[in-house]
Chains A and B, each alone.
Chain A
């Protein structure tokens, strides 16, 4: 079924909910927050659906999920709330602790990137989408994806421990 044929809502949800939730979870690291974001994304999507045909549900939902999750990261960082039940890791205790710290750092740092860089970075590395698919989801050229990705990595590496430069947010 093509996306622009106004498919049944349940089918859209069934097809894309997993990815929407996964994107949000990768960015936020919290099951609860990711569920909330996923819900917001679908609320927003159903409104857009009412406004006219959607060319690509996959692109729309991926974009919304990434943006809304990054918005939430920016609003909630850093809280010092230790949500142990949110940390669902497969590794052992030591590895888990190290991984958790790294993950926490990266989430906060990605949340500080400019929108486009954050979205491109998230889709590329967290969702592991190929460049062309990232470009299609965001409605930008593949070259722009490469540029944003390069800048995002440069920025992340150059800032390392700097979480709050206070600029773009």
Chain B
């Protein structure tokens, strides 16, 4: 009789353990799916952290220094011209004009290729308040000539943007 009890107990235990194994397997599948989702979320968040860092270090400082009005934007462009027109023989190609919420000015330049310092300075030149877009560049034995455009974004007030 003890044997029968033991056999019954063993069989019951087997059934319970099989049920437990099935439960473990189902839970494992659930946890694996959740883990994968969490991993993907972590990757997304890590990417967001990187983007945030980039926004904080690069983009937002640039936005902060943008002029707050169209007039101020004009002043920035004019100031740039005045600071550089002698070094790079800048000439006004197209005077201040507006395009999709930014102020622009097109400038031509001419640099002697023998003046290495100026050449390097020109190549490294940045427009910290906005963007500098080259339109044309020609280099020959006479020198470096061409046209570039200065783009000056500015903070539009709410009424203007609406």
Chain B associates with chain A: no
